[in-house]
Structure 1
Amino acid sequence: MGPGLDERSSGGSHSRWHVTRREALVALGGAALAASTGPSKTTMAADRSRDGLVRVRVYPGRVPFPARVRYGLDDLRRDWPTPLRDALAAIEEAFDQVLAYARDRSRLESVDIRVERGAPIRFPPASIPLSIDAVLPSLRCLLERFRDRIRSRNALTGRCCHVLLEWSPLNYRIGYGGTLAPHSITGEADGGDTGDAQAVVNVGATEVWDSRPVTRAMAIHEAMHTFLPDDIVDAIGDAVCDHELGTAVRTDAETLEVSPMATAYAGPDRIGGGTRFHGTGCCDRSRFYRHDGTDGIDTWTYTTELSEATCEAVTRYLERQFAIS
């Protein structure tokens, strides 16, 4: 992913956001919710992975009281309010699709993917120096804090994708979420660290600015990024970017159905072009696995069904990295 709404970068440089997005959020009173306080309630034991087992661990971030009220009284007492539970379920369903695709073709028979709940993530205020990142953290800053928390829980195993469900609807520096090198691909160690990958999904942004279907699609989108290295993507069709493994299919003359990897990238590059904000990562719609065009489209729908190209790419990576020969 390129920097912005959906960021993934192999380098350490920081690219600028689209001014239109920044101005839109600032004009609407953009100031991010401050990071939540208090240490985590539980400490997770080290993950003792067996051969062939890959874990995707999903963690709830802090959802503020006013947001919880929107989803009913039951959610006031839970670490997993409804949008976060739906995001988790979507991620689990997506990996079930990958395994079903592979096993229909007698592949990945030695690999199991386990999607599980992690303990809530909270960032103690003492760990956040007084700066803009204390109020409006960048994606890199948030990912670094997230890694510090999971490292303190002794939860790094070398074969786990850790996904944080964040609630920061006004933080344009995070956008819809993302992942960054050197911890962007599950199972690939870099610089002597473990091969655990991390991703952030800004559920607050998708819920406030878009819809629950977009929340589900973006949760899948960010988790799948960590199983799609560049060399695998390059070998699938015309794609040179993992967003191009997605699809945008006309279901009638005025409706386009968008798959998870194409979410935030299938529409025109403007506010309201499908999702409220357009992704600023890599994308060329002419190279999508399938894109039926946007002329005459006024209704956008979002599916949790992965494209065949996405399933194939993730299957190839799991075969290479985790299958037992």
Structure 2
Amino acid sequence: MPLWAWTRYGFDGVRDDWPPPFQDALSAIEDAFEQVLTYANERSRLEGLEAVVERGDLVRLPLPTMSRPSEAVVPSLETVLEGFRTRLDERDVLTGSTCHALLSWAPLNHRVGYGGTLSPNAWTGNVTGQPTDTGDSQTVANLGATELWDSRAVTRNMAIHEVLHTFLDTDAVEAVANSSCDHDLGTAVRVDDETMRVSPMATAYAGPDDVGGGTRFHGTGCHDHEEFHRHDGLEGVENWTYTTELSEATLEAVTRYLETSIDR
């Protein structure tokens, strides 16, 4: 993280190179999996399964060997994920059932946006049969973007959002929702006439498709408000709040995914 960004947080965490947004993002991810396991265990499912969420070592991505200079200055999501994969290979940390989340600080990289994942390493444990798919997934959460353009609440939700993408395939989503889009597992619930509360999988997709509609920038992936687990409509909404509490649909879909795609 650059010096100017450290000043935003009073250099809190500088000794461990672990600033507050990164601390909070990791804690939010850990809490999300605790929610899933609590939900599952209360229904006598996923018994004995443990989720371990831990901080990895600092990652410096290799310079892209691309002919286009723009890839070195503003790398695409594909380039970032390829570089991340290279570092994971070098460190010999691929296990076959791990999601590796890169918490990035790139507030001006519109090509990465808020983050994301790409095939063939988009699902944890669910091997696609492609030569480069070992069962380990990679995803990026651009904390620089959420911190600079939005809020800490959005930072937490998008960290959860990008990680859970790797535990939600089409089969798991379609078994729960009237849709194949995992964003539709989310909720946007009115807490009063002008205020909407948004869950993680709906974050960046719950608002109108324009700048400042909920999050500063709208997501570019699939979504349909009519197919959301719950969406209370946009009329009159002026304020947006965010909760790390997963919707019941998200909890069920992740549970189903873990039951079928992770060896235990």
Query: TM-score when scaled to structure 1?
Result: 0.78
Alpha-carbon displacement from aligned partner over 1:168-213 (angstroms, at most 9, x marks no partner): 1011000000000000000022323311000000000000000000
Task: Tell me which residue corresponds to 1:168.
Answer: 106
- How far apart are the structure 1 equivalents of 2:207 and 2:156? 18
Q: Is the Cα–Cα contact under 8 Å of residues 239 and 289 in structure 1 kept in the other structure?
A: no
Specify the alignment match of 1:263 in structure 2: 203
How far apart are residue 132 of structure 1 and its match?
Answer: 1.0
Q: Which residue of 2 aligns with 1:205?
A: 145
Aligned counterpart for 2:46 among listed residues 108, 113, 130? 108
CA deviation after TM superposition for structure 1 residue 290, in Å: 0.3
2:187 corresponding residue in structure 1: 247
Residue of structure 1 in register with 2:9 after alignment: 71
Matched, 1:123 2:61: yes
Specify the alignment match of 1:153 in structure 2.
91
Secondary structure at the residue paired with 1:316? helix
CA displacement 1:226-251 (0-9 Å, x = unmatched):
00001111111312200000000001
One-letter code of the match for 1:143? Answer: L
1:317 Cα offset (Å): 0.7
Contact 1:111 1:323 in 2 (8 A): no
Report SS of the residue matched to 2:240: strand
Secondary structure of the residue aligned to 1:149 is helix
| C-alpha separation in 1, matches of 2:98 and 2:263 | 15
Sequence identity percentage = 60
Alignment of 1:164-243 (within 5 A): 164-189=102-127, 190-193=129-132, 194-243=134-183
The corresponding residue for 1:274 is 214
Aligned match of 1:284 in 208, 224, 241?
224
State whether residues 11 and 19 of structure 2, in contact with CA within 8 Å, keep that contact through their aligned partners in structure 1: no
Residue 315 in structure 1 maps to residue 242 in structure 2: no
Question: Structure 2 regions of 5+ residues with no counterpart?
Answer: none
Question: How much has 1:69 moved relative to structure 2?
Answer: 1.2
Give the 3-state SS of the residue equivalent to 1:93 in structure 2: helix
Q: CA deviation at 1:77?
A: 3.0
Q: 1:256 corresponds to which letter in structure 2?
A: M
Which residue matches 1:143?
Answer: 81
Q: Provide the C-alpha distance between the structure 2 equivalents of 1:78 and 1:229, rounded to a whole number of angstroms.
A: 35
> How far apart, CA to CA, are the structure 2 residues paired with 1:79 and 1:124?
20
The amino acid of 2:146's aligned partner reads T
Q: Distance in 2 between matches of 1:128 and 1:255?
A: 47
Name the counterpart of 1:304: 244
Give the TM-score of the pair, scaled to structure 2. Answer: 0.96
Write the distance in 1 (CA, Å) between the matches of 2:171 and 2:158: 23
Q: Which amino acid aligns with 1:192?
A: P
8 Å CA contact 1:108, 1:323 repeated in 2: no
Paired with 2:181 and 2:81, the residues of 1 have a C-alpha distance of 22
Separation (CA, whole Å) in 1 of partners of 2:65 and 2:17 = 22
Give the distance between the partners of 2:156 and 2:139, measured in 1 at CA: 15
User: Secondary structure at 2:52's aligned position in 1?
Assistant: strand
Distance 2:37 2:219 in 1: 28
User: 2: distance between equivalents of 1:185 and 1:73?
Assistant: 35
Q: Kindly report the root-mean-square deviation, in angstroms, between the aligned alpha carbons of the 2 structures.
A: 1.2
Separation in structure 1 between the aligned mates of residue 29 and residue 226 of structure 2, nearest angstrom: 27
**Cα distance, 1:124 vs. partner?**
4.4
Structure 1 range deviating more: 68-77 or 111-120: 68-77
Match of 1:280, as an amino acid? T
| SS, match of residue 201 in structure 2 | helix
- Using the TM superposition, give the Cα deviation of residue 255 of structure 1 relative to its aligned residue in structure 2, in angstroms: 0.5
Deviations 1:83-106 (A, max 9, x none): 000000000000000000000101
Shift in Å, 1:79? 1.8
Quick check: 2:177–2:184 contact (8 Å CA) kept in 1? Answer: no
* Higher RCO (CA-CA < 8 Å; seq separation 6+): 1
Count of residue correspondences: 261
Where 2:53 maps in the other structure, the secondary structure is strand
**Which of the pair is proportionally richer in helix?**
2
Aligned to 1:83: 21
Retained in 1: the 8 A contact 2:99–2:163? yes
